[in-house]
Chains A and B, each alone.
Chain A
């Protein structure tokens, strides 16, 4: 077994003739915070879906803890989508407790003392994301930012090996987004999470993670735009968050966005 938690080896993903990702080779250690940026249609979301298990790679290997990754969503990988991540018919508390109920009841419903325990644990995680005061509310009573906090609490109670965030703050106001960044960083440090986050906001990706990946096409055929897929063109490590790199990436992205 290698030191890496996640490993992509010569991974390729295509839909028929449409090559989306090619030549993906990367290793990620436990506790890294990776942000992924790129133009729309660059395959960053497809990459996340391969990690999640809703899409499966067509070539190569994807390993999680040295084992081939499951081609179906599982509790090892938590997810927060931009929206629709929470269950509208359950209270905030039940939204978090439901995974405990899935775990220890065939019909997915606990009663009496066991339910009390599940709710207590849910409260603990609601407290961690700063949502304890709203535990009896329903999702429609929450603001967008609070709904995302809830979605994060839901994911964390399962102690996932990897937390996947798919443009989680894309629909939020800038002020709220700042609060959410702080929350995610706090949780990441406190619980030693491995996080993959897709964002369309380059600045967000640049300052939030420990490692920034840029997805882009290296080869381009103007007559057959689908012939070549994207790959990871930049892999910036921690600390390299200087203005210059930001500009280089920004330039390269806008260049390809224009030619695409």
Chain B
């Protein structure tokens, strides 16, 4: 095999190749940090590992002097709560509307234009509006996530419902199913795994809106903390938080994929 397009890595090599960039990144960081520390021991831009350690210890494992809370965990809890409530609401609305517009052409004709129009509004542009209407509390942050991802979910699931072969719908009719029964027994179960696909695709966007909302008006949360400590140039807090958000995002994605494979084996086998 001389062509590069034919050379495939063995499993150990693939793992080594995959880990390499991470190690490189860490090495470059360490080198950069050491160089800057050598010039100025109080440098804040690239903190050393021990500084990360003490920052994490201070936020995650020592109660806050002011409130007695463990700030890191409090932030995680608040953020995840907002994210999950927002995503769950969006999933419910997206599933209902996507399914019904895809299944019943009359409702589709009725709702699709307005869903398309709403999906074109940049959600960040109406964030001030949300703050005015829903106040500065939890609701406006959840609403931003809902408004941010629901139109995508509706349109995605509408399309997936349409993709189900018409043969199946005709078959179901010859088996005596009425519209409602066909939606409940033929379309809905086949759309559920596709809903999980859609959620995986929209989680990144959901995080974006969450952090944006927290940055502007919040008293806790991962995004709030990052934007708060930015004033003190606390890279020792910002970087672990960013890393933690990445880990959480990865875990949520992994959890959705696992759930989908466990609950809908027929969907993954047929793909």
Contact = CB atoms under 8 A, between A and B. Distances in A.
A15 interface: no
A103 B178 CA distance: 10
Contacts of A75: 174-176
Contact of B185 (A73, A77, A81, A109): A109
A99 B269 contact: no
Interface stretch (B150-158, B162-170, B211-219): B162-170
Contact of B189 (A81, A85, A89): A89
Contact of B174 (A77, A88, A103): A77
A89 B173 contact: no
A85 B270 CA distance: 15
Contact of B167 (A85, A99, A139, A154): A85
Interface in A99-117: 99, 101-103, 106-109
Contacts of A103: 176
A81 B173 contact: no
A88 B176 contact: no
Contact of A108 (B165, B181, B190): B181
Contacts of B177: 98-99, 102, 108
A86 to B, nearest CB: 8
B167 A89 contact: no
Interface in B249-271: 264-267, 269-270
Nearest to A154: B175
A85 B186 CA distance: 12
B3 interface: no
Contacts of A86: 171
Contacts of A106: 180-181
Contacts of B264: 89
A155 B170 CA distance: 12
Chain A interface residue number, banded: 35 or more
A85 B165 CA distance: 9
Contacts of A158: 174-176
A83 interface: yes
Given A84-B165, A88-B266, A54 B184 contact: no
A87 B170 contact: no
Contact of A107 (B165, B176, B181, B190): B181
Interface residues of B, number: 26
A52 interface: yes
A99 B190 contact: no
Contacts of B265: 138
Contacts of A102: 172, 175-178, 181, 185
Interface string A95-138: 00011011100111100000000000000000000000000001
Contacts of A140: 266, 269-270
Contact of A81 (B171, B178, B186, B190): B171
A160 interface: yes
Contacts, number: 90
A53 to B, nearest CB: 8
Contacts of B173: 72-74
Nearest to A141: B269
A79 interface: yes
A98 B174 CA distance: 11
A78 interface: yes
Contacts of B266: 88-89, 138-140
B165 A89 contact: no
A73 B189 CA distance: 22
Interface string A30-66: 0000000000000000000000101000000000000
A197 B191 CA distance: 32
Contacts of A77: 174
A160 B173 CA distance: 12
Nearest to A103: B176
A154 B171 contact: yes
Contacts of A72: 173
B41 to A, nearest CB: 63
A87 B171 CA distance: 9
A87 B266 CA distance: 10
B270 A101 contact: no
Contacts of B168: 84-85, 87
Given A81-B167, A138-B266, A160-B174, 13 more contacts: A74-B173, A75-B174, A81-B170, A81-B171, A83-B167, A84-B165, A85-B171, A88-B266, A88-B267, A103-B176, A106-B181, A138-B265, A154-B171
10 contacts: A75-B176, A79-B171, A87-B168, A88-B190, A88-B270, A98-B172, A98-B175, A102-B175, A102-B177, A103-B176
